[in-house]
Amino acid sequence: MTATTTTPTTPTTTAPAITLEAITVTYTRGDGDPLTIVEDFNLTIPAGTIHCLAGRSGSGKTTLLRVAVATLTPTTGTVTWAGTRLETLDPDQLAAARRKHMAYVDQGATVIDELTVLDNALLPAIPTGLTPDLEERATTLLTTLGLGTRTRQRARTLSGGERQRLAIARALLLQPTAIALDEPTASLDRTAAATVIDALHKAATSGAAVLVASHDPAVINTATTVTPLT
């Protein structure tokens, strides 16, 4: 796999939200042979920008997202969040850094069926406590994502695409430094996809770094920068 990044190299005064340096990921195949999916990959994502990892199925998009959010340790290379090299953190410090900096929406869009849509969106607020401001923000996010009339319904009544948008609202609730999303428009029609793209641009305008894996032209064409994976 080769990668060409189009990220600008303009110096910034604050540390980038996410930096990947010389990342290589080698899996072990079923037959025991090594399979290198990502090799010597570099990427810098400043705050306030949207970066899209684009490419065919199997090109390594999810692998790179998982490295960026630290659910997968690369075979070699360094991941840095807001100036902190993750290899310097113990597991508790990494968990704390993740809570502070990083939200991840995977392709599964897990939500809790028995909770209402609003309560699902508010789940990240539980450790610190609900506030009227957070409830208002959750409602605003759900409205932006086309779920404004569904807030009091149980999540089990939602379609797959609606669950995906609920997971995105939940991830954006606490205004993370960075948010990573895996194919966030994959099961959406054009109208619903536009609400997701709008929400991601609003998050970036508010200062978040957004890393998205997608082969959707609507996402690719509106990203700040794109890495085409082959």
Ligand X SMILES: Nc1ncnc2c1ncn2[C@@H]1O[C@H](COP(=O)(O)OP(=O)(O)OP(=O)(O)O)[C@@H](O)[C@H]1O
Check residue 58 for interaction with ligand X (CB under 6 A): yes
Q: Could you tell me the two tokens for 179?
A: 């948010």
Check residue 108 for interaction with ligand X (CB under 6 A): no
DSSP 124: G
From CA 80, how far away is CA 222, in angstroms rounded? 25
Which residues face 208 on adjacent strands?
none
Check residue 27 for interaction with ligand X (CB under 6 A): yes
The residue (of 37 and 121) whose beta carbon lies closer to ligand X is 37
How many positions of this chain bind ligand X (CB under 6 A)?
Answer: 12
Helix axes 132-144, 190-205, angle to 10 degrees: 140
Check residue 63 for interaction with ligand X (CB under 6 A): yes
Check residue 61 for interaction with ligand X (CB under 6 A): yes
Applying CB under 6 A, which part among 4-12, 58-66, 143-151, 190-198 lies near ligand X? 58-66
Between the CA of residue 129 and those of 24, 98, 132, 138, 223, what are the distances in Å? 40, 18, 10, 14, 34
Question: Rule CB under 6 A: which of 37-56 touch ligand X?
Answer: 37, 55
Q: Could you tell me the two tokens for 126?
A: 């539980």
| Contact pick of 44, 62, 185, 195 for ligand X (by CB under 6 A) | 62
DSSP codes of every residue in 187-224: T--HHHHHHHHHHHHHHHHTT-EEEEE---HHHHTTSS
Check residue 59 for interaction with ligand X (CB under 6 A): yes
Check residue 57 for interaction with ligand X (CB under 6 A): yes
Q: Output the smallest distance, CB 129 to ligand X, in A.
A: 36
**Which of 42, 52, 114, 27 is closest to 78 using CA atoms?**
42
Check residue 78 for interaction with ligand X (CB under 6 A): no
Q: Output the smallest distance, CB 35 to ligand X, in A.
A: 6
Q: Output the smallest distance, CB 75 to ligand X, in A.
A: 12
Start-to-end CA span in the chain (Å):
6
Q: Output the smallest distance, CB 182 to ligand X, in A.
A: 7
The residue (of 63 and 80) whose beta carbon lies closer to ligand X is 63
- Torsion angles phi and psi, residue 223, rounded to 5: -75, 155
Q: Output the smallest distance, CB 151 to ligand X, in A.
A: 31
Q: Which residues bind ligand X (CB under 6 A)?
A: 27, 29, 35, 37, 55, 57-63
